[in-house]
Amino acid sequence: MTTTATIELAGLDGGHHTLTSEQLEDLDSRVQGRLLVAGDQGWNDAVAIWNGMAARLPALVLQPASAHDVAAAVGFARDHGLLLSTKGGGHNIAGTAIAEGGLTLDLSCLREIAVDPDAKLAHVGSGCLLGEVDQATQAHGLATVLGFVSETGVAGLTLGGGFGYLARRFGWTVDNLAEVEVVTADGQLRTASRDQHPELFWALRGGGGNFGVVTRFSFRLHEVGPTITGGLIVWSAERAEEVLAAYRDLTDSAPRELTAAAIVRLAPPARSCPRSGTASPSPGSRCATAARTPRPTLPQFARSGTRSWTWSPPSRMPPCSRC
C-alpha cells in the first residue's frame, strides 16, 4: 500500500472517519493480503465491476488471502464504524459490491477449488467464477447448478438464489448448497449447514443480506456432460405471438432435463443474427438439455435449432498474481 498519513473513510453512521497511518499499519499487520489505495498497482482491477450503472469508488480495498484476513477486516471495520462491502466476481447487478468511500473486500484471491468426486462435492472459494468451477468439476464428469454466464461470480449468484441451465432438473443453486464457511459480523469464522448453525444457513440461502462474508461454498454435484444438446433459435418480431405460444406449450410438457428460456429483445449485431434483423425486436429461445444420452428426444420446437455440444473447458484465468 502506498504510504499515506491519513485517509478518510465513509462510516456506518453516514459520516466520515479519519484513519491514521498507524491504524492502517495495524490492519496491514493483521492480514496477508494486499491493502490498496487509489494509485496503487492493481487498484483499477480491484474496483472494476461489470455493472457500470453502479460503479463507485471505495477509499480502501483489501484483497484477502484467506478467511482469517476476512475476519480481521470485518473486526477492523466494526471497531472503527466503517462502511464495508464485499466484491466477489464483480458481476454485481445489485450494485452493492463497492462501498462508496468505504472499505471494500475484493475476494478475487480466494480462488481455490477442491472436487471430491466420491462424495460428489465441490468446495469453492468465494472469489471463483462459474467457468472455473465447471472446468474443475467437468474433469470428473460432474457439475452443479450455476448460472448462464461463465464470467459471473459464484458468490453473488449463489447468495442470490442461482438459476441456470440445470435448475429445472436439479433445483436452484442454493438448493444444491451443502455448506458455507462464513465470517459473521462479530468477526468469527463459522461453518453453516443444515446441521451447524441451521438458522444462519437458512438466512444465507435467501433470507436477505448482511449476515456475513462467505469465504467458501460447498456444492453437491451431479453427473452431467461432457456432451449436451443445446442451441439458440431466433425469429423475426412478426412471429412473436406464435413463438411465445409455442414456448408456453413446450415448457408445459417438456421433461425436467430440458431448460428453455424465452427472450424478446433488440437483435444484437452478432453472426447468429441476419443483418436485416439487427436492432429490431426479436423473440428468441435458448434451449439446453442435461439428459445423459447424447441426443435425447426433444420437442420439435427445441430440436429445430439445437445441436450436440461436447463440453470443453474455457481458457483458465491466470493465477492471481496479487496473492
Tell whether the model's pLDDT for residue 26 goes beyond 70: yes
| Residue 294 vs residue 84, higher pLDDT | 84
Tell whether the model's pLDDT for residue 311 goes beyond 70: no
Dmax over CA atoms of the chain, in Å, equals 69
Tell whether the model's pLDDT for residue 296 goes beyond 70: no
The rounded distance, in Å, linking the Cα atoms of 276 and 121 is 47
Residues 284 and 235 sit within 8 Å (Cβ to Cβ): yes
Average pLDDT, integer, range 292-317: 45
Distance of CA 99 to the CA centre of its chain: 18
The rounded distance, in Å, linking the Cα atoms of 215 and 195 is 19
DSSP code at position 140: T
Question: Could you tell me the CA-to-CA distances from 265 to 16, 150, 294 in Å, in that order?
Answer: 44, 21, 31
Residue 291 pLDDT class (50, 70, 90 cuts) = low
Residue 3 pLDDT class (50, 70, 90 cuts) = low
Tell whether the model's pLDDT for residue 323 goes beyond 50: no
Per-residue pLDDT tens digits for 29-75: 999 999 999 999 999 999 999 888 888 899 999 999 999 999 999 99
Go through the domains of the chain in sequence order and give each one's CATH number.
6-109 (3.30.43.10), 113-223 (3.30.465.10), 227-310 (3.40.462.20)
Average pLDDT, integer, range 158-180: 94
Tell me the average pLDDT of the chain: 85
Per-residue pLDDT tens digits for 218-277: 999 999 988 878 778 888 888 889 889 998 998 888 888 888 888 887 776 766 665 554
The rounded distance, in Å, linking the Cα atoms of 253 and 246 is 11
Tell whether the model's pLDDT for residue 23 goes beyond 90: yes
What was the pLDDT predicted at 302?
45
Residue 188 pLDDT class (50, 70, 90 cuts) = very high
- Cα Rg for the chain, rounded, in angstroms? 22
Of 3-12, 43-52, 224-233, 306-315, the range with the lowest mean pLDDT is: 306-315
Tell whether the model's pLDDT for residue 92 goes beyond 90: no
Three-class secondary structure of residue 262 per DSSP: strand
What was the pLDDT predicted at 207?
81
Element containing residue 233 per DSSP (H, E): strand 227-234
- Classify the C-alpha dihedral 17-19-23-24 as positive or negative: positive
| Residue 305 vs residue 32, higher pLDDT | 32
With left for phi above 0 and alpha for psi between -120 and 50, is residue 174 left, alpha or beta? Answer: alpha
Residue 28 pLDDT class (50, 70, 90 cuts) = very high
Residue 2 pLDDT class (50, 70, 90 cuts) = low
CA angle 220, 223, 319 (to 5 degrees): 65
What was the pLDDT predicted at 261?
86
Tell whether the model's pLDDT for residue 308 goes beyond 60: no
Tell whether the model's pLDDT for residue 25 goes beyond 90: yes
| Residue 302 vs residue 272, higher pLDDT | 272
Residues 119 and 135 sit within 8 Å (Cβ to Cβ): no
Q: Taking the model in full, what pTM does it have? A: 0.83
